[in-house]
Chain A
Amino acid sequence: MDVLVPILTMAGLGFLFSTGLVLAYKKLRVYEDPKIEKISAALPQANCGACGYSGCRAFAVALVEGKAEPNSCPVGGEDVANQVAEILGVKAGEVIKKLARLHCRGSHEAAKDRGAYLGISTCLAAHLLGGNKQCSFGCLHFGDCARVCPFDAIYMGEEGLPLVIEEKCTACGKCVDACPRNLFELHPVSQEIIVFCRSLDRGAPSRKACKNACIACGICARACPDAIIMENNLAVITDYRKIDPEKIPAIEKCPTGAIGRMEKDNEG
């Protein structure tokens, strides 16, 4: 009998409190759209912020409120956009798969050193001191981008330049922010021709600092004036969709290789 009293007491107390909570819950319940939970589950949960919201959950809330488009998650790509659109009952819209591309070909061999750099081995630190390369626009080879990539899609190649593994890259844009020299940019997969240089130096000094620099000779711009212009001693692609596939061989005549196709064997 002695056992029964405490058991009954505790059971009674438990029942009392749970009844209180149930009643309170009925009064104080906050309605939350069940779609938010569902969409959250469909999103990649990388919380990278590439969509412009502070995390996957905030993005899901914005989607349900109609403030965001289903295709604005670059990490999830088409699959996620379709799932989200299905939950919301709207059309997904076209998702253009993008990839991070490095705008520099200043490998160990091509870009000459300015001197021995013995400081902290991050790009940011080296950049503050003007860099270890003669070219003050090019890659510093310390791999800030590879360290910051949340998907392990960037690794430092043997030539000293970071290489992007296309299958893993989700175009979240972390490397774009991380590079102190702004060498990364997100480009649609379908963009074949890319300018691999950011040097604004005149032809002769750029050529001296790096074998692969854009020397502003203008061959590419003459080959395809609709899409390529010369600006501040650098070739700039204004609209890649206007590049005629037939003109690609002419563009690829670039004497330094500063503009051209992404080399497929260069990746992964």
Chain B
Amino acid sequence: MELAAIFISAMLINNFVFYYFLGICPFLGVSKKIDSAFSMGLAVTFVMTLTAVVSWAINYWILIPYGLDYLQIVSFILVIASLVQLVEMFIRKISPPLYQAMGIYLPLITTNCAIMGLAIIAARKEYGLAETVIFGVGAGLGFTLAIVLMAGIREQLELADVPEALKGPGIALIIAGIMALAFMGFSGMIK
């Protein structure tokens, strides 16, 4: 029950995009088409889950026993950077079109604050291994949900009559704000 609560909380209530406002760069950058938004979401979910596990291991097996908590941020950056490299190589091998579609945003997952935020929040909440994994998956799926919803809206928006000054990022940010308000409706679902 505890795990389910963490999962729902990471995915909906404390959604990384709409609650913490982390990971806005790919959220706006790759949300023009549902296809690429979905694969971006999956890539982020994958990296988030792996990061959560590896950073948990480093945190509890290396950093805390030696009293090196202050190295958390540096070592998490190391973890994220290597994992993103790995994912990039993997995607390039498996699916070149996907690699092309993600373009610059794939290496940019490295600097995606949502992933860094995930590792730090998980460490701060002192989750165990299982909880950390669930937290990572939930956060990743939450990000996927957010970016796919956004892409769906933006695909429709292509046909809408948007005022000239608001076209592109302007209207996208307004929508992100409205969606964040809508997601506030989830708060209070779990005490």
Give min CB distance, A22 to chain B, whole Å: 11
Chain B proximity of A188: nearest CB distance (Å): 36
Interchain CB contact (< 8 A) of A10 among B74, B90, B92, B93: B74
A24 contacts B89, C-beta separation under 8 Å = yes
Chain B residues closer than 8 Å to A14, beta-carbon distance: 78
Q: Please indicate the chain B residues that have their CB under 8 angstroms from the CB of A25 in the complex.
A: 89
Assuming the contacts A9-B68, A10-B75, A25-B89, asked whether A17 and B82 have C-beta atoms less than 8 A apart, the reply is yes
Q: Is A5 an interface residue (CB 8 A)?
A: yes
Residues in B whose Cβ lies below 8 Å from that of A24? 86, 89-90
How many residues of chain A get a CB closer than 8 Å to chain B's CBs? 15
Kindly state whether residue B147 has any CB partner on chain A within 8 Å.
no
How far is the CB of B51 from the nearest CB of chain A, in Å? 12
* Interface flag for B71 (CB, 8 Å): yes
In the complex, A5 Cα to B93 Cα: how many Å? Answer: 38
Contact of A13 among B66, B78, B89, B93 (CB under 8 A): B78
Q: Is the CB of A13 within 8 A of B92?
A: no
Which residues A1-52 have CB closer than 8 A to chain B?
5-6, 9-10, 13-14, 17-18, 20-21, 24-25, 28-30
Contact of A28 among B58, B62, B79, B89 (CB under 8 A): B89
**Which of chain B's residues have a CB closer than 8 A to the CB of A6?**
68, 71
* Min CB–CB distance A61 → chain B (angstroms): 11
Chain A residues closer than 8 Å to B68, beta-carbon distance: 5-6, 9
Contact partners of A30 in chain B: CB under 8 A: 89, 92-93, 96
Q: How far is the CB of A217 from chain B (nearest CB, A)?
A: 49
Q: Give B66-110 interface residues, CB cut-off 8 Å to A.
A: 66, 68, 71, 74-75, 78-79, 81-82, 85-86, 89-90, 92-93, 96
Chain A positions 183 through 194: 1 when the CB is less than 8 Å from some CB of chain B, otherwise 0: 000000000000
Interface majority SS (helix, strand, loop, mixed), chain B: helix
Q: Please pick, from B74, B82, B93, the residue contacting A21 in the complex, using a CB distance under 8 A.
A: B82
CA distance A21 to B80 in the complex (A): 12
Shortest distance from the beta carbon of B160 to any chain A beta carbon, whole Å: 23
In the complex, are the beta carbons of B62 and A5 less than 8 A apart?
no
Residues of A within 8 A of B62 (CB): 9, 13
* Chain B nearest CB, measured from A17 CB (Å): 4
User: Are the C-beta atoms of B66 and A9 separated by less than 8 Å?
Assistant: yes
A28 & B66 in contact (Cβ 8 Å cutoff): no
Using CB atoms, name the residue of chain B closest to A14.
B78
Which residues of chain A are within 8 angstroms of B89 by Cβ–Cβ distance? 24-25, 28-30
| Smallest CB gap from A20: residue in B | B82
CA–CA, A265 and B161, complex, Å: 49
Q: A174 to B75, alpha carbons, bound, how many Å?
A: 51
Give Cα A197–Cα B75 distance, bound, in whole angstroms.
Answer: 71
Residue from A18, A21, A29 with most neighbouring chain B CB atoms (10 Å): A21
In the bound complex, residues from chain B placing their C-beta under 8 Å from that of A9 are 62-63, 66, 68, 71, 75
Query: Complex: how many Å from CA A126 to CA B86?
Result: 55
Q: How far is the CA of A6 from the CA of B58 in the complex (A)?
A: 13
Question: Measured between alpha carbons, how far is A30 from B58 in the docked complex, in Å?
Answer: 31
Interchain nearest-CB distance for A103 vs B (Å): 34
**Supplied contacts A9-B75, A21-B86, 4 more A-B pairs, CB within 8 Å:** A6-B68, A10-B75, A18-B82, A24-B86
- Provide a sorted-by-A list of 11 A–B residue pairs whose CB atoms are within 8 angstroms: A9-B62, A9-B63, A9-B68, A9-B71, A10-B75, A13-B75, A17-B79, A17-B81, A25-B89, A29-B93, A30-B93
Chain A interfacial positions (CB closer than 8 Å to B) = 5-6, 9-10, 13-14, 17-18, 20-21, 24-25, 28-30
Q: Kindly list the 8 A-B residue pairs having the minimum CB-CB distance in the complex, ordered from nearest.
A: A17-B82, A28-B89, A28-B93, A30-B92, A24-B86, A6-B68, A30-B93, A21-B85
